[in-house]
A and B are shown apart, each in its own frame.
Chain A
Amino acid sequence: MTTKKFNFRLVPLILFVLLLAVLLKGLFSDPRERDSALIGKAFPQFQLPDLYDDSKQHTEKTLLNEAVLINVWGTWCITCKYELPYLAKLANEYDVKIVGLYYDQNYAPEFGQFADIPAIRVEVKDMLARLGNPYQYNILDLDRSLSLNLGVTGAPETFLVDANGIIRMHHMGDVNERIWREKLAPIWNEINQ
């Protein structure tokens, strides 16, 4: 008669298997999903002035009833310059509604740097005249509160928001023909069917 003794060297293996289970589970409940956390959520609430007209206020409600691309940009952003003509083409040829979310990178009141809004307006108009204007209107996010709520980490970034105000896609970097075709157009077409 032999009684099998428990092999204590199996203990590390057993512990490891338990750990694996936890890690596997942890993998699919990402604590800091940034992009995908926004997708499927409502566009954050905001109330911000129009870039050209202080008296005109925009809110998340202005965006409703029609699918829209929200494009985060600035005249100081080099990549944005290369993105503008393509966005203008989207707006003019494919009737895509595009709204700009403008922020000024130099604005940093804690450093004593304030924004010169009239100068920015001139700069923006000049640039849009040269490169094409895709925007129905521009929202001025001077203190970057909306950008912050959207988790924007740089410019350009683009959000696709449907008619019910739900964010359907988020793209970091410039929108070009390939990105439009592969990432945005499928959802855009689905919404507008």
Chain B
Amino acid sequence: MIPELGNFALYIAFAFSILLSIFPAIGLKQNNTRLMAMAPNLTIGLFVFTLFSFACLAYAFLTDDFTVVNVAQNSNSLLPIHYKFAASFGSHEGSFLLWLLMQSGWSFAVAIFSKGLPVDMRTRVLTVLGWISVGFYAYIIISSNPFERTLPYFPIDGRDLNPLLQDIGMIIHPPLLYMGYVGLSIAFAFAIAALLSGNLDSTWAKWSRPWTAAAWAFLTLGLTIGSWWAYSELGWGGWWFWDPVENAAFMPWLVATALLHSLAVSEKRNAFKSWTVFLAIAAFSLSLLGTFLVRSGVIVSVHAFATDPERGVFILVLLTLVIGGSLLLYSLKAGNIKSFGKFSVFSRESMLWSNNVLLVAATMVVLMGTLLPLVHKQIGLGTISIGEPFFNQMFTYLIVPFALLLGIAPLVRWKQDKLNNFIAKPLVVIAISLTLSLTWLFAEFDEIKPLALLGATLFIWIMLFTALELKQTLNKVSFSKLPLSHFSMVLGHIGIAFILAGVGLTSQYSVERDVKMNIGDSAELKGYEFTFEQINNIKGPNYEGWAAEIYITKQNKFVAELHAEKRFYPVQRNTMTEAAIDAGFFRDIYISLGERLPDGAWALRIYVKPYIRWIWLGGIIVALGGFLTLFDRRYRNKKALAKG
């Protein structure tokens, strides 16, 4: 009964999306305000019915309704309750319904919070969102309905959720990423609406900025938590794998970062406008491309869902319509966009332009690295794989100019500045940064590694310049008068600095050791003494396995006691390594339990990873910066918005 209601609600939501895509558009054409006024109400209906539908699916999972195919295949009566909930979006169908919930949720937010916009603009934006929705709802109803029944012959128990996904990171990381992905559709809708109306003044940039910042902040948080999930759950101590699906989420982030900066120029200086529109289209297009890659089975990845070419074809058609259509519109209409703001070769504008060039270059690198193996195979040259070394090397080249500019740019004036002012200061700062980082690394690690030195130096460089800029600005404007978006920038930049330091140090100074231990044995790594205390048989709700108890000391002082587990999930016949981690601001100790050897001893892998937390700390700081923008008075004040 409940699944039928959910299914029915989904159909109603689909009907709402069709209405939303048609009537307000007619209203715009005929200048009929009554038809235009339907848009917000239809959007609210769309959201409410989708929410209800999602609630029905979650209910089916929570109550073990194995008459629903999706539940039978992805849940199990023994699964703990929070994972039953997570399982409702762990499958292809369920996650797509979650996607729709968010899509309609964002549209709902636009309908509610954009009352300050001119009616025609608001209608146009909602109509564009309606068009996108029609495609997505049609897709889920036709080829991925999560409410399909197993009746009349239903299994007595389900096939269980993939153990990899049975983790707290799994409950929060996909929804955050989807919030980001889907949120970019708002910036996209604003850009398309502006192109359609031909009215691309700087107000457009002002309207879409907070929405872009919000989506981008969610994406940042999603990536950060995804990275942390991989680290804590996949059991081999890595935090970024350049997996095609990670890349698929990383590309929209890179482009959205470029978009945020380019929007600032469009808004404040009336320049880069056509380019900004392009970035808005590109950011959402890359989100869709990512969806295609994950769900079509074209690539192999830990993230990929079960494959089904029919679904792939459907998404490909959607891609063609949305991306192809918007790029066509762009090529036809963007020629009319005139940017009036003039700027010289050395100015804030040119700095932000370099930022955009570097970010787009980085996106191209990731795109190439992700798709080249596919292209290579399709044109008959056989299988190649492009792995970490390629990406790491390319990103090392790109990050140096990026980080150096990131430090200076906020100090450079709009329109024009004197290059002479920027010779002495950077030289002094780089000298200080180098000295400090050399001291730091030498004191802590006794050994200088070039890439670690690079990370540490860039970290200090960005921190010093950010402090300088803040001081300079506060000389002119009092602290309380400084707009919040300025702090967003500061946080964003500091966060990047932490990520750079974290990546540089942890990649260079992490150590690992494979040991074979019997109960009572000890091993040493980086000054830590690891003692294998005991091993216990454990039994969880839907798994059983072994837990090793390891006692860690440093110079005879207690550091931590860790339990590394190896679990066996009978229903899925899957073995999982649950790493044990002692987390710290300056270092992590990470232990994963390997096999039991024939002589009864156990294989263990021990890692000490300095500064790895800085990567996620940085990510969280960056995301905070993004969210802070939303509270900036300039974007919250309706009058200011309307006036532009």
Spell out A's residues near B (CB within 8 Å).
Answer: 7, 9-10, 12-13, 16-17, 19-20, 22-34, 76, 78-79, 81-82, 105-106, 108, 110-112, 144, 153-154, 173-174, 176-179
Contacts and interface: CB of A to CB of B under 8 A. Distances in A.
Contacts of A24: 313, 316
B327 A79 contact: no
A112 B335 CA distance: 71
B303 to A, nearest CB: 13
Interface in B519-546: 545-546
A25 B572 contact: no
Contact of A105 (B319, B335, B573): B573
Given A27-B296, A79-B156, A105-B570, A33 B595 contact: no
Contact of A108 (B282, B316, B568): B568
Contact of A12 (B153, B313, B330, B596): B330
A29 B307 contact: no
B300 A26 contact: no
B324 A16 contact: yes
Interface in B242-301: 274, 278, 282, 285, 292, 296-300
A110 B595 contact: yes
A78 B327 contact: no
A111 B316 contact: no
A25 B309 CA distance: 11
B380 to A, nearest CB: 10
A78 B157 contact: yes
B298 A17 contact: no
B292 A28 contact: no
A112 B378 contact: no
Contacts of A16: 285, 323-324, 327
Given A7-B331, A12-B282, A178 B378 contact: no
Contacts of B300: 31-32
Nearest to B155: A79
A135 to B, nearest CB: 21
Contacts of A110: 595-596
A178 B371 contact: no
Contacts of B484: none
Given A22-B375, A26-B374, A153-B573, A32 B297 contact: yes
B309 A82 contact: no
B375 A82 contact: no
A7 B307 contact: no
B157 to A, nearest CB: 5
B307 A32 contact: yes
Contact of B152 (A29, A32, A78, A178): A178
B307 A33 contact: yes
B153 A178 contact: yes
B298 A23 contact: yes
A28 B309 contact: yes
A162 to B, nearest CB: 25
Nearest to B367: A19
B327 A13 contact: yes
Contacts of B312: 27
Contacts of A173: 72, 155, 159
6 residue pairs, one from A and one from B, having the closest CB atoms: A176-B153, A13-B327, A9-B331, A26-B298, A27-B312, A105-B570
B153 A112 contact: no
B573 A22 contact: no
21 contacts: A7-B331, A7-B335, A12-B278, A12-B330, A12-B331, A13-B331, A16-B323, A24-B316, A26-B296, A27-B298, A30-B297, A30-B309, A31-B377, A32-B297, A33-B307, A34-B307, A110-B596, A111-B566, A153-B573, A174-B153, A177-B153
Interface string B496-536: 00000000000000000000000000000000000000000
Contact of A22 (B160, B378, B570): B378
A144 B545 CA distance: 19
Interface string B146-173: 0000001101110110000000000000
A27 B314 CA distance: 11
A153 B572 contact: yes
Given A13-B327, A22-B371, A108-B568, A30 B307 contact: yes
Contacts of A34: 307
B239 to A, nearest CB: 25
Interface of B: 72, 152-153, 155-157, 159-160, 274, 278, 282, 285, 292, 296-300, 304, 307, 309, 312-313, 316, 319-320, 323-324, 327-328, 330-331, 334-335, 371, 374-375, 377-378, 545-546, 566, 568, 570-573, 595-596
A146 to B, nearest CB: 14
Nearest to B375: A22
A141 to B, nearest CB: 12
A41 to B, nearest CB: 18
B155 A154 contact: no
A30 B305 CA distance: 13
Nearest to B330: A9
Contacts of A22: 371, 374-375, 378
B568 A29 contact: no
A177 B153 CA distance: 8
A78 B542 CA distance: 14
A188 to B, nearest CB: 18
Nearest to B277: A9
A101 B212 CA distance: 55
B155 A174 contact: yes
B223 to A, nearest CB: 23
A56 to B, nearest CB: 26
A88 to B, nearest CB: 16
B573 A27 contact: no
A179 B154 CA distance: 11
Given A81-B156, A178-B153, 14 more contacts: A9-B274, A13-B330, A17-B324, A29-B378, A30-B297, A31-B297, A31-B300, A32-B300, A76-B570, A111-B546, A112-B596, A154-B572, A174-B155, A177-B153
B88 to A, nearest CB: 20
A157 to B, nearest CB: 11
A82 B155 contact: yes
B157 A23 contact: no
A25 B313 CA distance: 10
In the complex, which of the residues B282, B285, B307, B319 has the most CB atoms of chain A within 10 Å of its own CB atom?
Answer: B307
B297 A20 contact: no
Contacts of B157: 78-79
A131 to B, nearest CB: 13
Given A19-B371, A30-B307, A12 B327 contact: yes
A81 B156 CA distance: 9
In the complex, which of the residues A22, A32, A110, A154 has the most CB atoms of chain B within 10 Å of its own CB atom?
Answer: A110
Given A22-B371, A27-B296, A111 B596 contact: yes
A180 to B, nearest CB: 10
Contacts of A27: 296-298, 309, 312-313, 316
A20 B313 contact: no
A27 B159 CA distance: 27
A106 to B, nearest CB: 8
B107 to A, nearest CB: 25
A9 B320 CA distance: 17
Contacts of B568: 108, 111
A82 B298 contact: no
Contacts of B572: 153-154
A79 B160 CA distance: 12
A190 B378 CA distance: 36
In the complex, which of the residues B297, B298, B307, B316 has the most CB atoms of chain A within 10 Å of its own CB atom?
Answer: B298
A33 to B, nearest CB: 7
